[in-house]
């Protein structure tokens, strides 16, 4: 009887420990004294082509820069132009870049402007060394000659087995001065523990797991996670999705800065519901994720808003109240 009792207690102990570990892994524990004061005054925004594709007046530039400062935006991804299939960019698309950067820096030298280079992955044959060389040379021109503070890539979709894209990042990093930032936007992470299900059952063709994030981080200084176009139609599900992304991705890194991109647009496709995916739910989800003990606060950099040209005054007010703690 005594031996049976000891055995029983051993089983109960193992089950209890397993439940606790499972609870921590899948749900997490809130930080003791946790609160919403995670803003480091170092947020980001994606801004449109207009600022460097046409000549803006000093008054317009000043209003833009001052608005960034008001909302504690210190990193701006300025759309320079889509990469052409040969890896180059039409020079006319960034004709006023030097002028804008010079004037903007005179107003506030603390805000950093990165050249946002985007393209659909299928249109770029990155296995071609000439194409990669052209992109890397374009990075050098934009960073060293034009004067951008760095390069921000948004090439979609990229996946775990996209070695050519990683080679592109390596070559661009080598072409940039050490003071320049290399930043990469990535879609939400699919945990490796769910790879079989997503590949075999859901039939996903492009898997973006911890593998791709860690490969990108070998060369990127910043990673910006795009937390939108999720197909979710519930506020609670969307926030829980963000919690999982924040906890998993921040815990991957020690010396990389991670931004989380939230949507400020209202028109999208079948994958997007603006009543669910919006500034308010995005911020609340990020805060909940940072409250979770599984997240690594040291690797969290800030929130990035997509896009600047569509965010409304009401959404700025929500951002200020929830994230900047302005009442």
Query: Any idea where the domains of the chain sit in the sequence?
Result: 34-322
Question: Look-up: residue for tokens 């804008």?
Answer: 100
150-198, pLDDT tens digit by residue? 999 999 999 999 999 999 999 999 999 999 999 999 999 987 665 555 5
Position 204 scores a pLDDT of 58
CA–CA gap between residue 213 and residue 219 (Å, rounded): 11
Residue 107, burial from CB neighbour count under 10 angstroms (0-12, 13-18, 19+):
middle
Task: Give the bridge partners for 154, in sequence order.
Answer: 118
DSSP letter at 252 equals T
Q: Are 139 and 151 in contact (CB under 8 A)?
A: yes
Question: Look-up: residue for tokens 């996903």?
Answer: 204
238-266, pLDDT tens digit by residue? 999 999 999 999 999 988 899 999 999 99
117-140 burial, b if ≥16 CB within 10 A, otherwise e? bbbebeebebeeeebbebbbebbb
Closest CA to 195 of 185, 203, 186, 187: 203
The total of other beta-carbon atoms located within 10 Å of residue 100's CB is 24
pLDDT along the chain (327 residues), means of 10: 46 44 49 68 96 96 98 98 95 94 98 98 97 98 97 96 97 96 95 57 68 97 97 96 96 93 92 96 97 95 98 98 91
133-162, pLDDT tens digit by residue? 999 999 999 999 999 999 999 999 999 999
Task: Give the bridge partners for 93, in sequence order.
Answer: none
Q: Are 218 and 168 in contact (CB under 8 A)?
A: no
Homologous superfamily of the 34-322 domain (CATH): Glycosidases (3.20.20.80)
Q: What percent of the chain has pLDDT over 70?
A: 84
């Amino acid at each position: 009887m005594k031996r049976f009792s000891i055995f029983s207690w051993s089983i109960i102990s193992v089950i209890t420990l397993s439940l606790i570990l499972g609870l921590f892994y899948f749900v997490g524990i809130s930080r003791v004294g946790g609160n919403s004061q995670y803003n480091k005054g170092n947020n980001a925004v994606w801004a449109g082509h207009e600022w460097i594709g046409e000549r803006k007046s000093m008054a317009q530039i000043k209003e833009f820069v001052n608005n960034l400062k008001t909302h504690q935006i210190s990193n701006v991804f300025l759309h320079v132009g889509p990469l052409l299939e040969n890896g180059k960019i039409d020079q006319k698309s960034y004709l006023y870049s030097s002028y804008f950067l010079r004037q903007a820096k005179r107003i506030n030298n603390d805000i950093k402007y990165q050249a946002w280079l985007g393209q659909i992955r299928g249109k770029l044959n990155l296995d071609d060394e000439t194409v990669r060389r052209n992109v890397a040379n374009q990075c050098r021109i934009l960073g060293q000659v034009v004067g951008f503070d760095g390069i921000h890539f948004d090439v979609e979709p990229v996946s775990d087995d996209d070695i050519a894209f990683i080679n592109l990042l390596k070559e661009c990093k080598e072409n940039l001065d050490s003071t320049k930032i290399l930043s990469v936007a990535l879609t939400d992470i699919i945990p490796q523990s769910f790879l079989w299900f997503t590949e075999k059952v859901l039939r996903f063709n492009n898997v973006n797991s911890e593998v791709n994030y860690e490969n990108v981080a070998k060369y990127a200084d910043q990673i910006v996670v795009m937390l939108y176009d999720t197909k979710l139609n519930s506020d609670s599900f969307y926030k829980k999705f963000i919690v999982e992304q924040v906890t998993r991705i921040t815990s991957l890194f020690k010396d990389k800065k991670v931004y989380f991109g939230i949507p400020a647009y209202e028109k999208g496709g079948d994958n997007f519901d603006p009543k669910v995916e919006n500034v308010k739910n995005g911020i609340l989800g990020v805060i909940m994720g940072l409250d979770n003990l599984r997240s690594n606060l040291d690797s969290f950099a800030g929130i990035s808003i997509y896009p600047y040209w569509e965010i409304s005054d009401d959404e700025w007010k929500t951002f200020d109240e929830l994230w900047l703690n302005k009442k």
